[in-house]
Structure 1
Amino acid sequence: MRAPHTPHALPAFPVYSSSFLSETKLVLGGGGGASRSGIKNKLRLYNVASDRSLQLLDEFELERGEDAPMSMAAHAETSTIICGVNSELEKLEKDQNENCRVFAVKDQKLGLLSTQGTLPPGDLDDYQLSLLSYPSLSPVAEPIHTEKEIYDASFSGTTLVVATTHNLLVYALPTPAAIPETPSPTKKGKGKARKAKSANASAASKLELLHTIDVLASAGGANGGTFRAAKYNPIDDGNFYTVVNTTPSRKPKAKATPRQAFVSKWNTKTWTVEKTRNFNDRGLTCFDISADGKFLGFGSSDLTIGLLDTNNLSPLVSILKAHDFPPTTIAFNTSSSLFVSGSPDNSVRVLGVPQSSGGGFSWAILLIIVALLVVLLAVLAQKYIATH
């Protein structure tokens, strides 16, 4: 299926994160990172027009020495963006990393609303995920520690799934009544908010671990694969999607095994794989699902971006060589009509999402064909009767 798409060059702005606040408002995060490259780390607010053109509305420059915004999520109802941004080296050395930040968009301007550190003092040998209440950013449970690297996390209404390289960890979320209320930080009440956060942190309990699903249970896991992404369907949390990237074989004298990526659809009632699609000779670098639950978007290490149908994982759109470097972020707008990819090559590409998924054979088309056949047979029968 063909889909209109438009590339946009963003000079001196490597893109690492993205999210839509509305149908037309897009926020991009990027920059040169913590290195002294001379490329500033920023958030940028754009308007995306119906013809897929971009208009820069505002930008927020981070402090010198801070990292680029490497992760991002939007809360459209409050026009806020939550970012993962590491503080400058001096603060890191003092265990003062304010790595979780909330930005508000008002009157088409970006502004810092609040910050929160989620990492404990000292060096840890494991990986950690913190669960915070929004908008207060107060911890609602003890941090989750894993032995393997964490690549993704996804929420349903009652569960949190953490995807490490080697397994899926399914946790029960606390009920709203069990979450202590904490005032969101303001300029006048930051001291009270910090004290409340500290009290909540000491009283936080562990999340209940419901399931641990090894990567070997998924397609591609037996081939030395690791989980790369995991997403609940936002419309039907009975469906869950994962990406597994395999690693080429490096055994001496053995025939090289090409790297592959597997996208799988899971039934969350049984936590079993229902369908799998294999992408040959490439690994996926980013992955997301549309707000209407109909499309899976992906970016690949072979520079391709594309869309899959969520029902049967059939490919709908593929844009070859969408970027010069592998894409690092993708995002759907709130109406699921636009799809954006970004790359460290200083570019984004805006793609118009097809109006229908097109995945599989349409029953409407089948009925039309049957009706035409009935009409044709009726005409032939009348001719036969007329000649005999």
Structure 2
Amino acid sequence: MRTQHTPHFLTAFPVYCSVFLSPTHLVLGGGGGASKTGIKNKLRVYDVADNRAITLVDELQLEPGDDAPMSIAANLETGAFACGVNSPEEQMKKGENQNCRVFSFNEQKLGLLGTHGTLVSGDLEDYQKVTVLSPDGKFLIAAGTNSLQLLSFPSLAPAAPLIKTDKEIYDVTFSQNTFVVATTDNLLVYSLPQTKGTGSPSKTKKKGKQKENATAISELELLRTIDPPAAVSGASGSTFRAARYHPEKPGVLYTVGNTIPGRSRTRKAPPRQAYVCKWNTETWAVDKVRKVADKGLTCFDVSPNGKLLAFGTSEHVVGIIDAETLAPLVTILKAHEFPPTTIKFNPTSRLLVSASADNSIRVISVPDSAEKSSWGLLILILITLLIALLAFVAQQYAS
């Protein structure tokens, strides 16, 4: 399926995370990181038009020494969003890393609402690589390499004890009653606690009896552990890279798996391949599997209407597939000079934005619907059959 898309080049702004606050307002997070590159770490809000043009609305430069924003999630109803930003190295060495931060976007301006520290490993290389909000906006998960914290939102008060994992965490996704943690080796399915209170974020401690109402801390129950499907792993194995619940069907979960090439002294290792799996969460069986790339996937998203899946690959490709059939719909080769770092549908599922550390974003007009693509294919098949039938009739008549 052909679709229109427009690249935009941003001066000295490598992009690592993105989220829409509305159908037109897009937040980008990025920068030069903690190293002294001279490239500032910042958040930017752009207005994205239907014709794929972008206009800078506001920019918030982070404090000196802060790292680049690496993950982000937004509450569309309030306009508040959470972001993973490491504090300066001096604070991290003291165990004072305020890595989880909440920002507001009001009257076309960005502002900091509150901060909280969730990374306790003491590893200066650790960072908040996953930031995800629950569908009702009450819970936030901030995850580092091998640990995650469930927080109430927007107060950032802990809602459950810290969870540590043996394997590296790559993604987290919420349903109404559970959340799934995608690690390199397995999926960890947890139940959500019931909320018992709310709070509001604050950068300073309240005095006297003015204390923040916090969600009561509850132990999280691990419901099950899911291994990668054999259809993907094969003899060499595979790793999970992303997981997303269907936005309207809690019985459907999508995962991305990258294969692990087997080692051999006698022959060249096969290339790493990427697969998308569609799971039935009632049975935890895989309903459909589709190979989508000959290289690993770097980012993944599900459209809010649940009809489309989008991904970026290490070959710099951006693709869109049908969420029901996993059939490919759109492929954009060389969408970026570097592998895409983030990809996001807007709330109306009409636009898709991919971004990269190459200082660029690409705005894509999403196909109207998967149904139209299916009907188009059906019509093409019918026309082909009709032509074949007419040719057969003509041949019979000639003889």
User: TM class by shorter-chain length?
Assistant: 0.7 to 0.9
Question: 1:331 pairs with 344, 349, 355, which one?
Answer: 344
Provide closer, same or farther for how the CA distance between residues 205 and 2 of structure 1 changes in structure 2, counting only shifts above 3 A. Answer: same
Q: Displacement, 1:102? A: 0.7
Provide closer, same or farther for how the CA distance between residues 184 and 246 of structure 1 changes in structure 2, counting only shifts above 3 A. Answer: same
Equivalent position amino acid for 1:36 in 2: K
Aligned to 1:131: 150
Aligned to 2:12: 12
Matched-pair contact (CA < 8 Å) for 1:316–1:359: no
Q: Displacement, 1:52? A: 0.3
Q: Displacement, 1:180? A: 3.5
Matched-pair contact (CA < 8 Å) for 1:167–1:227: yes
Q: Deviations over 1:285-343 (max 9, x none)?
A: 00010111111010011110011110010011010000000000001101000000000
In 1: Cα distance, 2:11 partner to 2:352 partner: 21
Matched-pair contact (CA < 8 Å) for 2:101–2:116: yes
Alignment RMSD, CA only?
2.8
Q: Displacement, 1:220? A: 3.0
Aligned to 2:197: 181
Aligned to 1:120: 120
Aligned to 1:225: 238
Provide closer, same or farther for how the CA distance between residues 364 and 15 of structure 1 changes in structure 2, counting only shifts above 3 A. Answer: closer
Matched-pair contact (CA < 8 Å) for 2:155–2:202: no
Equivalent position amino acid for 2:149 in 1: S
Provide closer, same or farther for how the CA distance between residues 242 and 195 of structure 1 changes in structure 2, counting only shifts above 3 A. Answer: same
Matched-pair contact (CA < 8 Å) for 1:314–1:360: no
Aligned to 2:170: 151
Report SS of the residue matched to 2:151: coil
Question: 2:222 pairs with 187, 209, 215, which one?
Answer: 209
Report SS of the residue matched to 2:232: coil
Aligned to 1:383: none
Aligned to 1:82: 82
> Do structure 1's residue 305 and structure 2's residue 333 form an aligned pair?
no
Report SS of the residue matched to 1:219: helix
> Do structure 1's residue 295 and structure 2's residue 311 form an aligned pair?
no
Q: Displacement, 1:256? A: 1.9
In 1: Cα distance, 2:243 partner to 2:300 partner: 8
In 2: Cα distance, 1:338 partner to 1:74 partner: 17
Provide closer, same or farther for how the CA distance between residues 117 and 187 of structure 1 changes in structure 2, counting only shifts above 3 A. Answer: closer
Report SS of the residue matched to 1:69: coil
In 2: Cα distance, 1:6 partner to 1:259 partner: 29
The more displaced of 308-317 and 215-224 is: 215-224
Aligned to 1:73: 73
Aligned to 1:30: 30
Aligned to 2:278: 265
In 1: Cα distance, 2:145 partner to 2:247 partner: 30
Question: 1:315 pairs with 310, 328, 345, which one?
Answer: 328
Question: 1:142 pairs with 140, 150, 161, which one?
Answer: 161
Runs of 4+ in 1 over 3 A off after TM superposition: 120-126, 186-197, 358-366
Matched-pair contact (CA < 8 Å) for 2:256–2:275: yes
Q: Deviations over 1:154-200 (max 9, x none)?
A: 0000100000000000011112xxx3424313478645799658x86
Q: Displacement, 1:258? A: 1.2
Give the percent of matched residue pairs that are identical in Structure 1 and Structure 2.
57
In 2: Cα distance, 1:166 partner to 1:285 partner: 17
Provide closer, same or farther for how the CA distance between residues 147 and 343 of structure 1 changes in structure 2, counting only shifts above 3 A. Answer: same
In 1: Cα distance, 2:369 partner to 2:145 partner: 44
Q: Deviations over 1:127-148 (max 9, x none)?
A: 1011111111111111111000
Alignment of 1:186-201 (within 5 A): 186=202, 190=206, 196=212
Equivalent position amino acid for 1:356 in 2: S
- Unaligned segments of structure 2, at least 5 residues: 127-143, 390-399
- Unaligned segments of structure 1, at least 5 residues: 377-388
- Structure number with greater Rg is 1
In 1: Cα distance, 2:372 partner to 2:168 partner: 34
Provide closer, same or farther for how the CA distance between residues 193 and 272 of structure 1 changes in structure 2, counting only shifts above 3 A. Answer: farther
Provide closer, same or farther for how the CA distance between residues 26 and 190 of structure 1 changes in structure 2, counting only shifts above 3 A. Answer: farther
Aligned to 1:163: 182
Aligned to 1:385: none
Report SS of the residue matched to 2:11: coil
In 2: Cα distance, 1:42 partner to 1:55 partner: 16
Q: Displacement, 1:61? A: 0.4
Q: Deviations over 1:321-377 (max 9, x none)?
A: 0000000000110100000000000000000001111487439967x969xx9xx9x
The more displaced of 139-148 and 336-345 is: 139-148
Aligned to 1:350: 363
Provide closer, same or farther for how the CA distance between residues 194 and 301 of structure 1 changes in structure 2, counting only shifts above 3 A. Answer: farther
In 2: Cα distance, 1:13 partner to 1:72 partner: 17
Q: Displacement, 1:18? A: 0.2
Q: Displacement, 1:120? A: 3.2
Provide closer, same or farther for how the CA distance between residues 78 and 221 of structure 1 changes in structure 2, counting only shifts above 3 A. Answer: farther
Q: Displacement, 1:281? A: 2.2
Aligned to 1:379: none
